[in-house]
Amino acid sequence: MRILFLDQFSERGGAQIGLREILDEAVRRGWQAMVMIPGSGPLHRDCADRGIPSCDLPLSRYGNGHKTAPDIVHYGRDSLRAATAVRAIVRQFAPHLIYVNGPRPLPAALFGARGTPVIFHAHSYLDRRYTRAIARRCVDRARMRVIAISEFVAQPFPGATIVYNGVRDHGFLIRPLLPRLKTIGIIGRISPEKGHLDFVDAARRLSCHYPGIRFAIFGAALFADAAYERQVRAAAAGLPIDFHGWTNDVEAALHEIDLLAVPSGPAEGATRVIMEAFSAGTPVVAYASGGIPELVRHGETGLLTAARSADALATGIEILLRDAALMERFSTQGRREWEQRFQIERCQRRLCEVIAEVCSTTSECRFRSEAEVSSHGERLDTRGSGSVRNVSSSEE
């Protein structure tokens, strides 16, 4: 089976980590894959490490946040260029399926598919009306199968298949540890929807009553405007907060902290870091935002705050700081929840089952013979749509 994967970023965000895991399973199953992604980020190197060719998807650099009318016009022009590139790759690679890992390449998939079935994997809730309208129009016109990471994310797409993310084993370490100074952490990209300013405000309130406590921020702006990270750093001045920058070693970060705070905004889909914390045995205090209540069972596997506010976050953290037995229960129950619901193998298996199902049941997806592929040339030629990258594993 041949699958063309499209993603809107080449940096390693949560959705892109998920894409790597689908690619791993595709390789294990002997499927052929081709990846189109914009920019020159490390996801190209991840593909090369797996022996998977990748090439440029001509989309301009994109950040989260408010979009102006010129931004939308620019988006339209980008989509046309990307559709032309996708169409060229489809003609040459002859995929049995196009897998769109995020909303931005949807128009390119719609107009470039040439009748190839499409799966749209929705990793985030589309909270802006125009993005929902574009996505739903693309999905409806191409009769795309939709996979969503939570019921919350699936709301704009009736009939979507829910597949919760899975994460690898992050090394269970039961909490609380031996008595020591506690460290409260937040892990992930630094952006307004992740609630870092609330985290800093909660740290200010708690540090007054717990003078030995430390706070740790693991993350960077990544796709978001760097101005917000500067604002967070300015607000943290003089507080016992350590900025560790972006880390690819989430396991080590989770073992370094005693509690994980997840003060995400109302559009949070189903953040992977909660599942990673469950695996590592790190207790979680989170806002009941978006899809988070689908992951955390309040009072059993973690604590959901009474409100989305710095006061409520500080109160939730303090409850655990004062109750070692509750911390231990969240630690062990969280690990059990990971074992039953969020192991990576379970997620990979289910996603590939959906891929195989679409390819076997969609009438438009009749397996093309290898002779058809060879008629386009044995070597994929991507002239006019970006060059195939063969990046060595040592490329920085």
307-363 pLDDT per residue, tens: 999 999 999 999 999 999 999 999 999 999 999 999 999 999 999 999 999 988 764
State yes or no: pLDDT of 374 exceeds 60.
no
Please give the pLDDT value at position 179: 60
Q: What percent of the chain has pLDDT over 90?
A: 77
pLDDT tier at 386, thresholds 50, 70, 90: very low
Residue 396 has pLDDT above 50, yes or no: no
What is the per-residue pLDDT for 267? 94
Q: What is the distance in angstroms between the CA of the first residue and the CA of the last residue of the chain?
A: 31
* Average pLDDT for 289-297: 97
If DSSP codes are grouped into helix, strand and coil, which group holds residue 298?
A: strand
Question: What is the Cα 261 distance to its own chain's centre?
Answer: 18
pLDDT digits (tens, 9 = 90+) for 45-97: 999 999 999 999 998 765 555 555 555 555 668 889 999 999 999 999 999 99
The Cα 141–Cα 362 span in angstroms is: 15
Q: How confident is the model at residue 135 (pLDDT cuts 50, 70, 90)?
A: very high
The pLDDT value recorded for residue 371 is 41
Average pLDDT over residues 209-217: 93
Q: Which of 192-201, 296-305, 369-378 has the lowest mean pLDDT?
A: 369-378
d(CA 274, CA 253): 13
On the 0-12 / 13-18 / 19+ scale of CB atoms within 10 A, 96 is buried
CB atoms within 10 A of CB 17: 16
Contact between 247 and 183 (Cβ < 8 Å): no
Amino acid at site 205: R
What SS3 state is found at 168? coil
Among 178-187, 218-227, 323-332, 367-376, top mean pLDDT goes to: 323-332
3-state SS assignment for residue 396? coil
**pLDDT of 170:** 97
DSSP string, 47-84: HHHTT--EEE-------SS---HHHHHHHHHHHHHHHH
- Residue, of 374 and 29, whose pLDDT is higher: 29
396 or 190, which is more confident? 190
pLDDT at 251: 96
pLDDT at 21 over 70: yes
The per-residue pLDDT for 61 is: 66
Residue 395 has pLDDT above 50, yes or no: no
What is the structure's pLDDT at 370? 41
Look over the chain and give the mean of its residue pLDDT values, rounded to a whole number.
88
